[in-house]
Structure 1
Amino acid sequence: MDLNADLGEGFGRWSLGDDEALLDIVTSANVACGFHAGDPATMHRICRAAVSRDVAIGAQVGYRDLAGFGRRRIEYDLDELRDDILYQIGALEAFCRVAGGKVSYVKPHGALYNTAAVDEGQASAVVAAVRAYDETLPVLCQPGSVLARLAGAAGLTVVGEGFADRGYRADGTLVPRSAPGALIQDPEAVAARAVRMAVEGVVDTADGDVIPCPVESICLHGDTPGAVRLAGSVRAGLLGAELAVAPFS
């Protein structure tokens, strides 16, 4: 099972999360590419650190929305969205190459992730960008989503992702961050959810249902309070369930 985290989400003199500590725990790093967060120096630093630890690097592509941290839905011209995604992948690839690594997958961030899960237009823009750049790159996304369906139909490798620290609704979408139950911060609960997703392919919803959630990668958000402790608990839980923890890519 892969364990991924969103990293490099500071900007300029502002830092967010403990990237170095998380890189000692996770197996894949979703690196912000400068649109929702991150900057060239941060991208360079994270790529060097990830390569030195044999952590896979993914392009976490988002809306052009630094002020909103990419968590506000934007209605894009779809060709423009495709090109914004291409720009971000290419920027991160440059720093990967300098560090002796490569971009190993693509994952949308925030509102783009949630929108592409249900909106064919924006999902198609993500698919078009990945196919144009490198059709061998996997797309990390929500199982059963519109993006997963369109990416698979286009011949891309689709990797299902589960969120150990986020609440789910009965339809498989995430509980909005503004609603109760959106964020789960108890280390034991987060670890138990991760293990259940990995072993049984299911997740408990906020209203008590159990829904399918077949995953090959489990995500923890680097900006969640106590993220390092949560990540350590998840890794320990997966190893305790006799699962190998390694990059899917």
Structure 2
Amino acid sequence: MKLNCDMGESFGSWEMGNDAAAMPWIDMANVACGFHASDPSHMAKTVELALVHGVEIGAHPGYDDKQGFGRRHIPHTSQEITQLVAYQVGALDAICRLYGATLNYVKPHGALYNDMMADPSVYEAILSAVSLLNMQRPSSLSLMILARTDNRQYIAQAAKYAVPLLFEAFADRAYQSTGLLVPRSQAGSVYHDTERIRQQVAELAGGWVTTIDNQCLKLYADTVCVHGDNEESVMLVKQLHEDLRR
């Protein structure tokens, strides 16, 4: 089980996250590409940091929404979604090439991620972007999506575009018995207790998760999303790193 973390989300003089402290303890860095956050300088710093620690680099494209941090749904045509994803992934890929790094995958951010999982046309538009970019690359980019109890629909659609998938779970989010995340508007949707989060990550590494109503649910995931926003969260990421390597 690999740990992935959103990185490079600072912008200009505005600093966000604690990338330098978290990077040594993760496996995959989801690097903001300039639309919801970041800029060329912070993208480059994040790529350099990932290289130092041997961390896989992924593009983290979102809607063009710095004020809302990419968390607001913005209507787009399918063609526009394909273009905005290609634009952002291409920008990070260029930064990676500048520093001799390799871009490995794409993980949409915020509202774009949610829309991808809820709307097949958005998912297909993103698959189209990744597929077209892969035609020009020596190795294929994977697309990271939310792990579900039944991934067959997503796998079948991705296969049409020859795009490899990575399935993601969340360390600190409660799950419903349907296999979906508990909405943030509902009480108990986000775990704050360190031991509960460690328990969930251990379960996910074993291929299952305990739901909010105490059901045992099979759930396959390649990677689990963690956060490195502050000193306390970085300490937890380090603990999870050590737990998974025992």
Superposition TM-score, scaled by structure 1 size: 0.89
Moved more, 80-89 or 178-187: 178-187
Matched, 1:44 2:44: yes
Supply the AA of the counterpart residue of 2:141. L
Matched with 2:181 is 174
Q: Give the 3-state SS of the residue equivalent to 2:245 in structure 1.
A: helix
Matched, 1:35 2:39: no
**Structure 1 segments (4+ residues) deviating >3 Å:** 144-149, 222-225
Q: Is the 8 A contact 2:227 2:234 kept in 1?
A: no
Superposed, 1:1-249 pairs within 5 Å as 1-134=1-134, 136-144=140-148, 147-199=154-206, 201-223=207-229, 226-240=232-246
Per-residue deviation at 1:213?
Answer: 1.6
Q: Give the 3-state SS of the residue equivalent to 1:207 in structure 2.
A: coil
Per-residue deviation at 1:182?
Answer: 2.6
Per-residue deviation at 1:128?
Answer: 0.5
Moved more, 226-235 or 124-133: 226-235
Q: Give the 3-state SS of the residue equivalent to 2:107 in structure 1.
A: strand
Q: Is the 8 A contact 1:17 1:227 kept in 2?
A: no
Q: Distance in 2 between matches of 1:88 and 1:81?
A: 11
Supply the AA of the counterpart residue of 1:126. I
Ranges in structure 2 where 5+ consecutive residues have no aligned partner: none
Per-residue deviation at 1:178?
Answer: 3.3
Q: Distance in 2 between matches of 1:181 and 1:76?
A: 32
Q: Distance in 2 between matches of 1:39 and 1:147?
A: 32
Per-residue deviation at 1:152?
Answer: 3.4
Supply the AA of the counterpart residue of 2:236. L
Supply the AA of the counterpart residue of 2:9. E
How much identity, in percent, do the aligned residues show? 38
Q: Distance in 1 between matches of 2:230 and 2:145?
A: 19
Q: Is the 8 A contact 1:185 1:226 kept in 2?
A: no
Ranges in structure 1 where 5+ consecutive residues have no aligned partner: 241-249
Superposition TM-score, scaled by structure 2 size: 0.91
Q: Give the 3-state SS of the residue equivalent to 1:81 in structure 2.
A: helix
Moved more, 9-18 or 222-231: 222-231
Q: Give the 3-state SS of the residue equivalent to 1:203 in structure 2.
A: strand
The verdict on how the C-alpha distance between 1:173 and 1:107 changes in structure 2, with shifts beyond 3 A counting, is same
Q: Give the 3-state SS of the residue equivalent to 2:22 in structure 1.
A: helix
Q: Is the 8 A contact 1:116 1:147 kept in 2?
A: no
Matched with 1:246 is none
Structure 1, residues 133-181: CA drift from partner, whole Å, max 9, x if none?
1161111111245655422342211111111112222322222333322
Superposition RMSD in Å: 1.8
Structure 1, residues 52-78: CA drift from partner, whole Å, max 9, x if none?
111110001111111111112222111
Per-residue deviation at 1:207?
Answer: 2.9
Per-residue deviation at 1:224?
Answer: 7.2
